[in-house]
């Protein structure tokens, strides 16, 4: 097991692997705090979630977080090849705003993703050269940053204050939407210490969405 700290979050890498997928993977979901990262390097197949089907091809990338049910259907004539990482969140109490945005990404699907770093991780893990754990941890941190950059809302990027990146307010917003199934505007406002009107204004500024729109987006994920 390889441990790392990224944006205030303590992770463990519990598994790394890759190769051809010649058989179907049945419907399943992962435990609390688990994130499965898949990088498609060749071949084809299908990813099926409760909401949608995705045709897999080289350059595709997806994350499945906790309680996201999914399955994969193999293409027997052109089996998908991938690299995967299993991450477990051990402690996220000091997560930065960027770290919280990653935690809130329970599912995402990205096309045209550069998987070269993932291949490096797999190579380091399999060859086990001296201090390979440091190399794997460093490369994984780069990948986490790359993923989060691609998922940052434009409004968040436009308004990001790098001198105030650790502002707990945004971390609390992300964690509230992630962990509170029946979150209300009143509860969120109380959590971040603002009135409801100020909370709505903040959500609009950083996400381009109202409370209702943001909550609906999180449910769809």
Higher pLDDT, 117 or 105: 117
Is residue 12 within 8 A of residue 88, CB to CB? The reply is yes
Give yes or no for residue 166 having a pLDDT over 50. no
Higher pLDDT, 55 or 171: 55
Residues 6+ apart with CB under 8 A from 57: 40, 44
Mean pLDDT for all residues in the chain: 87
Of 171, 177, 159, the C-alpha closest to 217 is 177
Assign 221 a pLDDT band (cuts: 50, 70, 90): low
Question: Helix/strand/coil (H, E, C) string of the chain?
Answer: CEEEEECCEEEEEEEEEEEEECCCEEEECECCCEEEEEEEEECEEEEEECCCEEEECCCCEEEECECCCEEEEECCCCEEEEEEEEEEEEECCCCCHHHHHHHCCCEEEECCCCCHHHHHHHHHHHHCCCCHHHHHHHHHHHHHHHHHHHHCCHHHHHHCCHHHCCCHHHHHHHHHHHHCCCCCHHHHHHHHCCCHHHHHHHHHHHHCCCHHHHHHHHHHC
Residue 63 confidence (pLDDT): 94
Give yes or no for residue 35 having a pLDDT over 70. yes
Sheet holding 2-6, edge to edge: 2-6, 9-21, 80-91, 34-42, 61-64, 107-110
- To which CATH superfamily is domain 2-152 assigned? Regulatory protein AraC (2.60.120.280)
The yes or no reply on domain 155-220 and CATH 1.10.10 is yes
Euclidean distance between CA atoms 154 and 152, whole angstroms: 6
Higher pLDDT, 39 or 175: 39
Length of the chain: 221
Classify the C-alpha dihedral 145-148-149-152 as positive or negative.
negative
Euclidean distance between CA atoms 201 and 197, whole angstroms: 6
Residue 165 confidence (pLDDT): 42
Note the pLDDT tens digit of each residue in 107-155.
999 999 999 999 999 999 999 999 999 999 999 999 999 998 887 766 5
Please indicate whether the domains covering 2-152 and 155-220 agree at the CATH topology level: no
Give yes or no for residue 162 having a pLDDT over 80. no
Mean pLDDT of 203-207: 81
Mean pLDDT of 104-109: 86
* Domain residue ranges of the chain, discontinuous segments joined by +: 2-152, 155-220
Residues 6+ apart with CB under 8 A from 5: 11
Give yes or no for residue 99 having a pLDDT over 70. yes
Mean pLDDT of 32-38: 94
């Amino acid at each position: 097991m390889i441990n790392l700290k990224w944006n205030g979050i303590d992770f463990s890498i519990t598994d790394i692997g890759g190769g051809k997928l010649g058989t179907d993977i049945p419907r399943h979901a992962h435990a609390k705090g688990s994130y499965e990262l898949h990088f498609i390097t060749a071949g084809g197949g299908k990813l099926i979630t409760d909401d949608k089907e995705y045709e897999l091809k080289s350059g595709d990338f997806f994350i499945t977080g906790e309680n996201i049910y999914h399955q994969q259907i193999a293409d027997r004539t052109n089996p998908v090849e991938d690299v995967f990482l299993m991450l477990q969140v051990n402690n996220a109490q000091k997560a930065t705003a960027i770290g919280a945005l990653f935690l809130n990404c329970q599912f995402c699907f990205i096309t045209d993703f550069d998987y070269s770093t993932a291949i490096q991780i797999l190579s380091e893990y399999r060859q086990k050269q001296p201090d390979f754990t440091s190399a794997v941890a460093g490369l994984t941190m780069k990948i986490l940053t790359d993923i989060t950059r691609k998922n940052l809302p434009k409004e968040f990027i436009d308004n990001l204050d790098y001198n105030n990146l650790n502002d707990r307010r945004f971390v609390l917003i992300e964690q509230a939407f992630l962990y509170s199934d029946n979150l209300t505007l009143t509860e969120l406002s109380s959590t971040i210490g603002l009135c409801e009107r100020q909370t709505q204004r903040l959500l609009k500024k950083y996400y381009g969405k109202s409370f209702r729109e943001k909550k609906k987006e999180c449910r769809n994920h």
